[in-house]
A and B are shown apart, each in its own frame.
Chain A
Amino acid sequence: MRLTLTEEQEMLRKTARDFLTDKCSKKFVGQMEEAETGYSRELWQEMADLGWMGLAFPGKYDGGDMSFLDLAVLLEEMGRACLPGPFFSTVVLGGLSILDIGSEEQKQEYLPKVIRGEKIFTLALAEPGYRNYDASSVTVEATRKDGNYIINGTKLFVPDAHIADYLLCVARTKPRKGTTIFLADAKNPRIECTVLKTIAGDKLCEVVFDQLLVPSADILGRLNQGWSAVQTIIQRAALGKCCEVIGNIQRVLEMTVDYAKDRKQFDRPIGSFQVIQHYCADMATDVDSARFVTYQAAWMLNEGLPCAKEVAVAKAWISEASQRVFALAHQIHGAIGVTVEHDLHYYTRRAKAAELAFGDADFYREVVASEMGL
């Protein structure tokens, strides 16, 4: 048991923090929210050159041979910077899923594209009218025709689909529970993409498949058996979101404490009032506990240990802890914190989006219940 980062991870953290402080100002984040693409190609390439996309992939695909725990550190820094763009989609949802279940041929073909930052990937999973992540609620259908598959239907909340080169599409291939993951060419004109207007200003899309033809060779993993792979993908994605949130709330704690030290009322810093001190203490407790539950689950995932309960505890806890942190951060910041003149709103909006992504607290509480045998 060792609850601190390794020296290597500390270095990675420092490099990432310095780079993002320099390249990812809040002004830039704001611009990207307004921009149609939502990211900067130039910054994307620089990140690839730093080896970030390839960090957690094996060396034989040109990856950095580092672990999911190292990636967690990087995601935390990205959350701290509110980094816009398709890193999460491409690496966590796309690349790592291909590494999990792709054939050797598929890995050879696609992973170097992820790692070099050449192509953007994402996952099309959720659908309209779909609340919880379970196999029976997938309605987008892939029907077999002449050795190929034809996909029809609508996916929702697909991150970065408007700029993606490839979509991992979860589709029904058998009535009831048979689902399969397809790797589709996102630029195909049979796919129509509409960017939604979201709380975080990130680019979540509606994706409509109209008679899209996908060759059988582009099935990722096993036919009809896709759901267990999807569960692993959701688990990792939920954990990845937790990492982003930790970075997010850690920064918000620091901003709030700094503000409480600076801001004077009644001739003294408001941080000298006990009620403000206790608010800050509560925030710090939520931030630290969020970090430990997340890293515990990430460590287990990395070690290949069963971690359904730990992931669920982390996401359920963080979804609520982050809301408590923001309630207090806004209260302490006072009115300036609810304006766009202050940076706090970037964090507030992103944390809410992360809370809703890949299962909310209620969803994961039910997972914990079944793990407890209730």
Chain B
Amino acid sequence: MDFGFTEEQGKFRQEVRDFLEEEIKKGYWEPACDAWVQGFDQGFTKRVADRGWIGLTWPKEYGGQGRNHLDRLILTEEMLRYGAPAACHWFGDRQVGGAILSFGSEELKKEFLSRIVKGEAYFGLGMSEPGTGSDLASLQTRAIEDGDYYVINGQKTWTSCASFSQYFDVYARTDPEAPRHRGISEFIVDARSPGVSRIPMIDITGTEAWNDVFFDNVRVHKRYLVGEKNRGFYQVLHQLDYERSGMERLMGNYPLFDAIIQFAKDKKLSKEPEVRSRLVQLQIEFEVGRLLIYRVASVMEEGRAPNWESAMSKAYCTEFEKHLAGVAMEVLGPYGQLKSGSKYVPLRGMALHSYLGSKGYSLQAGTTEVLKNILATRGLGLPSS
């Protein structure tokens, strides 16, 4: 085993830090929790793209850098550490681009990958539906063939970044007669298509966290079918493994982690045994989570798709994030209830935001219960229930 980073990796990390610190110094943005999914800053995305940092691991022929997964992990780890507003490109970079790369036609790769890499194509996901949560194979959105087109009808929900998305990665039923896992296909749908509409959903923090996205006779050309017809369910499982694999599950609230430790030190609260032991426990849990995520990257480096490994790290890390938010609220005492912008609010209201927002972390991208099922059946070989 080797837990070290090469000199080149160290330099790369420093390069990313220098870039982000410069951005903050120039006042372009302020570090924020959840900025990877809620911080929309087209200029930032463009500047990141100019450095070649979107699609870092993709082949050069599609505009990527052909770098390895550890480099990408270092990049995202630093983005999250600084709470950078990366939401415009996050989904395209993290998973939709990868899905197109793995399953898409040459034509699709040419059309989309280079634009994602340039920070010019923003994606949202169309997986969940009102009646379809953990049981994704039950989805009802239909896509019916009509000449060179598919006509899509249905409703998607919990779509992050939807207001800014130019495209949606939509899963729809193409064969209602087939067993339900074998009748779903994946499409790239232009958000400006006639018949696409969005209604924002406000989350418990008061933020527009998601949208309902409606598809009313939306015509999609067949060339926007990703991969094979009726293989969408298997493709989405692959994509979800990647969605779950990253640092955002541990470090989405890193600015709060950093701030609450500093706060406790500044106010001398860290000498109080209760506060001290809580912060230490968080630090230990953080270090453990980080290694579980690095293990996922190391699985990818071996050329395997992460599966139960990312289920394990995501289930673990979202618990950490909830724990972090809970501890931060306890440390702040009555001040914890103050919202961002209020008189007396500590830490710009980050603790309150995370405390409320973290209730959703163990639901998105696979509930903790589903993830533990995956770990138990696929990782440990226990029989299906």
Residues of chain A touching chain B, judged by Cβ–Cβ distance below 8 Å, are: 1-5, 69, 257, 260-261, 268-269, 271-274, 276-278, 280-282, 284-285, 288-289, 292-293, 295-296, 299-300, 303, 310, 313, 316-317, 365-366, 368-369, 372-374
Known contacts A284-B312, A299-B3, A299-B4; A278/B369 CB under 8 A? yes
- Among B117-125, B177-185, B231-239, B275-283, the stretch that binds chain A is B275-283
Q: How far is the CA of A66 from the CA of B298 in the complex (A)?
A: 25
Q: How far is the CA of A189 from the CA of B273 in the complex (A)?
A: 47
Interface assignment of B354: CB less than 8 Å from any CB of chain A: no
**Hey, which chain A residues are within 8 Å of B380, CB to CB?**
257, 280-281, 284
Q: Are A285 and B375 in contact (CB under 8 A)?
A: yes
Q: How far is the CA of A366 from the CA of B279 in the complex (A)?
A: 11
- When the two chains form the complex, which single residue of B1, B5, B283, B377 contacts A372, counting CB atoms closer than 8 Å? B283
**Hey, which chain A residues are within 8 Å of B281, CB to CB?**
365
- When the two chains form the complex, which single residue of B277, B283, B292, B376 contacts A277, counting CB atoms closer than 8 Å? B376
- When the two chains form the complex, which single residue of B3, B70, B377, B382 contacts A295, counting CB atoms closer than 8 Å? B3
Interface residues of B toward A: which range?
Answer: 35 or more
Q: Are B284 and A316 in contact (CB under 8 A)?
A: yes
Residues of chain B touching chain A, judged by Cβ–Cβ distance below 8 Å, are: 1-5, 9, 70, 261, 264-265, 270-271, 276-277, 279-281, 283-284, 287-288, 291-292, 294-295, 297-298, 302, 312, 315-316, 369, 371-373, 375-377, 379-385
Q: How far is the CA of A190 from the CA of B377 in the complex (A)?
A: 60
Q: How far is the CA of A373 from the CA of B376 in the complex (A)?
A: 39
**Hey, which chain A residues are within 8 Å of B261, CB to CB?**
372, 374
- When the two chains form the complex, which single residue of B2, B283, B291 contacts A289, counting CB atoms closer than 8 Å? B291
Q: Are A289 and B372 in contact (CB under 8 A)?
A: no
- When the two chains form the complex, which single residue of A269, A282, A284, A296 contacts B379, counting CB atoms closer than 8 Å? A284
Q: Are B373 and A277 in contact (CB under 8 A)?
A: yes
**Hey, which chain A residues are within 8 Å of B383, CB to CB?**
261, 268-269, 271-272
Give the interface centre of B291, B292, B369 by most chain A CB atoms within 10 Å.
Answer: B291
Q: How far is the CA of A5 from the CA of B298 in the complex (A)?
A: 12
Q: Are A365 and B284 in contact (CB under 8 A)?
A: yes
Shortest Cβ distance from A373 into chain B, in angstroms? 7
Residue on A nearest B368 in the bound complex, by CB: A278
Q: Are B295 and A271 in contact (CB under 8 A)?
A: no
**Hey, which chain B residues are within 8 Å of A261, CB to CB?**
381-383
**Hey, which chain B residues are within 8 Å of A293, CB to CB?**
287-288, 291
A-B contact pairs, 28 of them (CB 8 A): A2-B2, A3-B1, A257-B380, A257-B381, A272-B382, A272-B383, A273-B385, A274-B373, A277-B376, A278-B369, A281-B372, A281-B375, A284-B312, A285-B292, A288-B292, A288-B312, A292-B288, A292-B294, A295-B1, A296-B3, A296-B291, A300-B3, A303-B4, A313-B287, A313-B288, A369-B270, A374-B270, A374-B279
Q: How far is the CA of A295 from the CA of B375 in the complex (A)?
A: 22
Q: How far is the CA of A262 from the CA of B202 in the complex (A)?
A: 48
- When the two chains form the complex, which single residue of A292, A313, A316 contacts B292, counting CB atoms closer than 8 Å? A292
Q: How far is the CA of A360 from the CA of B139 in the complex (A)?
A: 50
Q: Are A277 and B377 in contact (CB under 8 A)?
A: yes
**Hey, which chain B residues are within 8 Å of A5, CB to CB?**
1
Residue on B nearest A260 in the bound complex, by CB: B382
Q: Are A277 and B295 in contact (CB under 8 A)?
A: no
Q: Are B276 and A374 in contact (CB under 8 A)?
A: yes
**7 A-B pairs with least C-beta separation:** A277-B376, A292-B291, A281-B372, A374-B270, A281-B375, A271-B382, A3-B298
Shortest Cβ distance from B301 into chain A, in angstroms? 8
